[in-house]
Amino acid sequence: MEQHPLLDMHLRSLRLPAMLANYKRLAGDIAEPISYLTQLASLEVEKRHENGVRARIAGAHFPVIKTIESFDFSLQPQLPKVKLLELFDCAFIEQRRNFICIGPPGTGKTHTLLAIGLAACTRGFHVLFITAAELLMSLIAAKREDRLERKLKSYDRYDIVLVDELGYIPFEREATDLLFQVISRRYERSSIAITTNLAFSDWTNIFPDPMAATAVIDRLVHHGTIFEFAGESQRLKTRQRRSTGAAAATS
């Protein structure tokens, strides 16, 4: 009987072994039912994929949805655009590599982080978005409630953890120790992506122990890709333009 590799692939993807084993026998030599069944299985695969993407996006806890298509590269001319766009096939997640955005507030770091997260969700990866402050507060609370190990394990199920706004507030020793545990557990096992407003040379300003800062940086950059953002805050510029426009309209 004629082979139907696309239908076979769909039935395996849908985990329908009985259909896979018997459809040729039941269809006999009639071609039309096989074509119909192939289209039907294709629709089921597409629907399951769409449902999976929606579930992964919901589980990622993105504050807003951002895409790289809406990122204005003209505001960051020094960024290596081609190199950055290459990351959106998410091969770096399969390779268990890291992704770091460094630069002043309002320059597009979080937008990029969210866009990477969305791309990862659509490609089947499990993603978590969390601010550094939220991450560390949840870890400290878990430690005090004697459930730290369970909390740390809960992050292990994500293919990539997106940590936003690292460095905006200084950390106590307890917090930096917990951050080190998160990064150390993921080192060469799964990916982590971080945005920070501090150059690595300034991380000692937020880490009370310089050795801890060095250890964290070492694990992040060993298998990491770093992008440096520059310029003034676009959010601030937008507010200033709106304020100027409002003042002109009322004058």
Task: For the chain, give percent helix, strand, coil, nearest 5.
Answer: 60, 10, 25
Contacts of 20 (CB under 8 A, 6+ apart): 8, 11, 12
Helix (H) or strand (E) holding 226: strand 224-228
Whether residue 250 is predicted with pLDDT greater than 60 in this model: the reply is no
DSSP annotation of 228: E
Confidence at residue 174, expressed as pLDDT on a 0 to 100 scale: 87
pLDDT score for 21: 80
Tell me the average pLDDT across 214-221. 91
Helix axes 132-144, 173-186, angle to 10 degrees: 100
Task: Identify the helix (H) or strand (E) that includes residue 166.
Answer: strand 160-166
**Residue-level pLDDT at 81:** 96
4 closest CA partner among 38, 30, 45, 36 = 38
Give pLDDT tens digits for 40-79.
788 778 888 999 999 999 999 999 999 999 999 999 999 9
pLDDT at 221 over 80: yes
Is the pLDDT at 28 greater than 70, yes or no? no
Place of tokens 């293919």: 159
Q: Is residue 226's pLDDT more than 70?
A: yes
- As a whole number of angstroms, the distance between CA 176 and CA 68 comes to 31
Q: Write out pLDDT tens, residues 176-207.
A: 889 999 999 999 999 999 999 999 988 877 78
Burial (0-12, 13-18, 19+ Cβ within 10 Å), 111:
buried
Q: What is the DSSP letter of 26?
A: H
Higher pLDDT, 12 or 2: 12
Distant-in-sequence, close-in-space partners of 227: CB < 8 Å, separation ≥ 6: 79, 80, 84, 99, 100, 101, 102, 112
Higher-pLDDT residue of 117, 19:
117
> Mean pLDDT throughout 160-180?
88
